[in-house]
Structures are given as C-alpha cells and as structure tokens.
Amino acid sequence: MHYLDNSATTVVSEKAAQKAFEIMTQTYGNPSSLHFMGLQAEHELEAARKSVAKRLGVQTDELYFTSGGTESNNTALFGTAQAKKRRGNRIVVSAVEHSSIVEAANKLESDGFEVVRIAPRADGIIYADDVAAAVDSGTILVSVMLVNNETGAIMPIDKIFSAVRAKNPDVVCHTDAVQAFGKIKINAKRLGADLISVSAHKVHAPKGCGALYVKKGVRIVPLHYGGEQEKKLRPGTEALPLIAAFGVACNEFDIDGNLKKVEELNNYAKSLLTEIDGVTINSPQNALPYVLNISAGKVRSETMLHFLEELDVYVSSGSACAKGKPSYVLSAMGLSKDRADSALRISFSKYSTAKDVEALCAGIKAGLTTLAHR
C-alpha cells in the first residue's frame, strides 16, 4: 500500500498507540478524581500538556485540550467574537482557510459581524499588506492559517500579525497551525499569535484530540458549559487516552530530520511528475514539502483518485473535509476550472518512501493514458 494522504490523517505511531492502550486499561482513572487513580491520570494529563506546549513554545497553563482542529478553530473564532463584540464588529480571515474557519466566519457574518475575506495572490500566499489594509479601528479578530492544507503554501504569519498590530494593537491574532505543527518549528511568541490551533491526528496520534493555545491575558468566551476541566474553557471529562498519546507523538518529533527527508521525496516526486505530459504543479515554490498539489491533465480528480486506489495508491482531491466538492482554495488562487477539476493533493509523512512516489507517478502516467480514452 502506498499511502500519500497524510494531510487528511496519519497512521498512529506504535508508541502513541501503546500509550493510549495503557491509559485505557491501566491508568484509566478520571483526572478530576481525588483518589490515587485520579492523581495518576492527572499526572498523565499534565505530562501530555507539557509535551504539546513545549512544541509551541508556550506555558502549560496557556494550553487547552479540545476534540481536534475544528473545535479549536471554532472556539478561537466564536469565543473571541463574543468576548470582543462590544469593542468592534469586523473579523478578517483569509479566503483559503480550512472549512472550520470558513463556516465559522459565515455563521458569524449571518449573526451580524462584518467578515472581510482576503484572497491570496497568484502564488497562493496571503500577504501582510493585503491583510493590514483590511484592518480598521473596529477590527477585533484576524485569522490566517500558517500552512494551507491543500497547497502547502506557507503564510508569513509573523509579518502579517506584526502589520495587523501596527494598524490596531487590540486585534486578537489567531492562526490555524494544524498542517504546520510537527513539520516546522513553531514558536507562538515569534509568530506574534494570541491563539493557535493544532490537531493530534495529523502528527501520528489518534483522531478526536487537539489543542488551543490561548495567550495569557487574552479572554475568550467558552462554547460549552459544565465542570471545571480545562479551566472551564473546555469542560467535560478529558479524553485522556487520546491526549496522552498526543503527548507521546509530540515527544517523537524530529522536525529537522523529517523535513530534510520529505523535502527530498517532494523534489523526487516533482522531477518525475513534470516529465509526465499534462501534469502541472499547483503548489507554490516555497510550499511546505509535506504537501504537493498537482493537476493531472483533463481527467477529473475523483476519477483519477479511484484509478490510483485500484493500484493501492492513496491521495486526495483536496481537503478531506470537502468530501469531493470543488476546491475554493484553487479557485481563489485564480486557477482555471480545468486545472481545479483535475487537482490532486499528495501529502507525505515521515514514513513515506521513494517507492510510494514511484508507484504514484507510474499510476498517474497510466491513468492519463487509460482514462483519456474512456
């Protein structure tokens, strides 16, 4: 099997899976319980929090566990909007965000907030000047992702947030770092971020777990109400097996080593793909090498995807959350309908190999020959 859909989800590492099993069968107490089993569980919870916080360069008391990237993003947007609504009404987001930001922004707009959507330039990048131009005295929140989930475009978040604060220092700055976390080094202070969203299942930990960094002093209104867990920002008994596995996966990060390996695979893939007549690279030049977006001739994405599946090669036609709908990310970049309709997202992990790349390229070549005549 040649799995190249790691931006959708990753295989859980052996150590992370073992940790989840250990928590489910041995250290299964409720972290809020005051007895020994509860204290053991609380120790595991805080050890995981320390591991994730370290990878963001933040304090443990600034990190809140959630059910994943979508909840983290929703909490960031809705929580900030409710906390700051008396200060202003404008929210600025990029036009190429993950659907959990896009749909949250749409809902806020229908609730009466003014939402400004910043389009990328032709290279797929969101530029600081374009975001800053949309910021005014009534702006309360800016949200721009660190790495685009479809193209791998790396956004200059530090420059964007610096330019935003030069216009209005009271703006809360959020970045969805789900596709960047574990792949490039992240430091909240250097980015200038008040809020950062991350997810476990993109970094070889189980699905159903994520985290939100909230800078000290930044107030957001919770989406849920209940117990004292996560300092009331995200009440409810913590999903400790998933959280502990997330912490273990973070301890396994080898960002520099993996980036070098994946960069070589990405370059190898591009060298083979560009030799295939009809294949075009859509990812920008400086994209994160973990993500490679291409267009394959005039064969529709879904048709090619299923052809490759028959060869045990797995890629996607875009964001998994879109479930096959046309890519608004590629449309926002100004790509033609034909290129957008034939787009494939290839995404690597630390476990990807040259054989995976070779199987993919051979499959696409065969697909273009076979499917073009159907």
Is the separation of the CB atoms in 195 and 175 below 8 Å?
Answer: yes
- Bridge partner residues of 343 (DSSP): 295
| 361 flagged as catalytic | no
Is the separation of the CB atoms in 302 and 287 below 8 Å?
Answer: no
Residue of 173, 209, 250, 321 with catalytic role: 321
Question: Which residues are catalytic, by number?
Answer: 321
